[in-house]
Structure 1
Amino acid sequence: MRNRHEDRVFVFGASGHAKVVLDIIERQGCFKVDFLVDDDPALKGRRFFGYDVLGGRDELFDYRQKGASAGIVAIGSNSARRKVAGWLIDNGFGLVTAIHPSAVLSRGVVVGDGTVLMAGTVVNADVVIGNNVIVNTGVTIDHDCFIGDGVHIAPGTTLCGTVHVGGNTFIGAGVTVIPNITIGSNVVVGAGATVVRNVPDGVQVMGTPARIVNKN
C-alpha cells in the first residue's frame, strides 16, 4: 500500500465513481489532487466536482516534471481500469491507494496499489487485497480472504472467511459468499446472489443459490 505522502496526485476519470474517489482522498488527507485526466475530449478544460480536467493521458507527461507523478484510476469498469492502470505503470507513473477514514482494517491486512476502500467497509484479519481493486460502500470482507487484482466488489456485499476471488471479477451489490469459496477470474456475480459453491473462471452467476447463467 503506497500512501507515502506523495503530496500532489492526479485522478484519472471524471464520472460519478470519480466523485466518490475524490471525496475519499479529501477526507483521507494524505494527498492533494492537482487535476483530473480523462480521455474524453469533450471534458478537456472543464471543471468537474471542483477540479480542472486537464485533458487526455498524453497531458500527463508535461506535469510529471512538476510533481504530479502518481495518481489513481477512478473508473468503475474493470477492463477499462486495468488498461489505464497498466498504461500508467508502463509509462513510469505511480499508483496511490485511497481508504475512507470510516473503513475498518484489522491486523495483517494488505492493500495493493491503486485500490479504493469506500465508506463503511470492514476488512478483517489477514485479508489480502490486490492492486486496482474497488471495495465499495459497506462491504464486509472477513478473515483470510484473498481478492485478486482488478476486482470490483459492489455495495453491501459480504464475503465470509477464507474466500478467494480471482482477478478482474465483478461482484454485484448485496451478494453473500459463504466461507471457503473460490470464485474464479473474469467472473460476474449478479446482484443479490448467494454463492454457496465454487465458481469457475469466465462465467456469470446469479440467484440464490448462485447458478451459472452464461459464459463471458
Structure 2
Amino acid sequence: MSENQGPATAYTTVDGDHVHELEIKRSRFITYLRRVETEEAARGLIAELRKSHFDARHHCSAFILGPDRTAQRSNDDGEPSGTAGIPMLDALAKRETSPGTSDLSDIAAVTVRYFGGILLGAGGLVRAYSASVSAALDSATLVRRRRMRLYGIDAGYAASGRLENDLRAAGTQVLGTDYGPSAATLRIALPDDPAGIAAFAEHLATLTSGAGVPQDRGTAWVDLR
C-alpha cells in the first residue's frame, strides 16, 4: 500500500454488486462482490447468500471497511484454517487499483463453493479462493471516491443550464441541480483544498459576472465519475 500522511482523502471501491464464477477440478467457486459501508451490511450479504445457496458446502467471506481500511475480517466457513478467508482478504487488500496503490475498501467478497468431488489440498484451496476473488475483481467495475467539499450555487432558471455546462467543461464535479420557487441551485463538489477552492471562486465570478457565490455545505465522500 502506498504511504499516507494523515487520514485517507481518497480510496477505491466496487460499483454496486458483481458476480463471477470459476470452476476448478469440478468444484464451482462463485464469488459475489458488493459495495458495503458497515459490518452489518457485509454480514447481511453473507446471510443472504446462505439462504440463496443453501445447498452449497461453504460460504467463505472477507471484507474491508472504511477509507483507512481499519476494519478487515475473513472467515473460512468450514474450509481448513487459513485456506479460504485469508487468501480472499489478501486478494482484496493487495489489489492494485493504480500502479503502486492498493486502496480497495468498503467491499465485501463471499465465495460460495459447490464441492466437485476432487480434493484440492490446502495449497490448492488457497490458490482457488485467491484466484476466484481476483478474477471477480478483474471483471468488476471499480469507482474512485474522494473526500470533497460541497457547495451550492444559486442561478436563475435561464442561466443555470449554461452555467452547469460551463462548469462541467472546466472539469468541475456537478452533482445535480435543485429547482426552487424562484431560482435553481447547482450542487457541486470540489477537492477539499483551499487554493483550489479559491481558484474556483475566481472562475465562477468570471462566468457569472460576479453574481455566483458558492455556499459551503460541508464535506462528504463523493464517487468520481
> As a proportion of its length, which structure holds more helix?
2
Per the TM superposition, whether the score is higher than 0.5 is no
Instruction: State the TM-score, normalized to the length of structure 1.
Output: 0.29
Instruction: State the TM-score, normalized to the length of structure 2.
Output: 0.28
> As a proportion of its length, which structure holds more strand?
2
- Of structures 1 and 2, the one scoring higher in RCO (CA 8 A, sep 6+) is 2
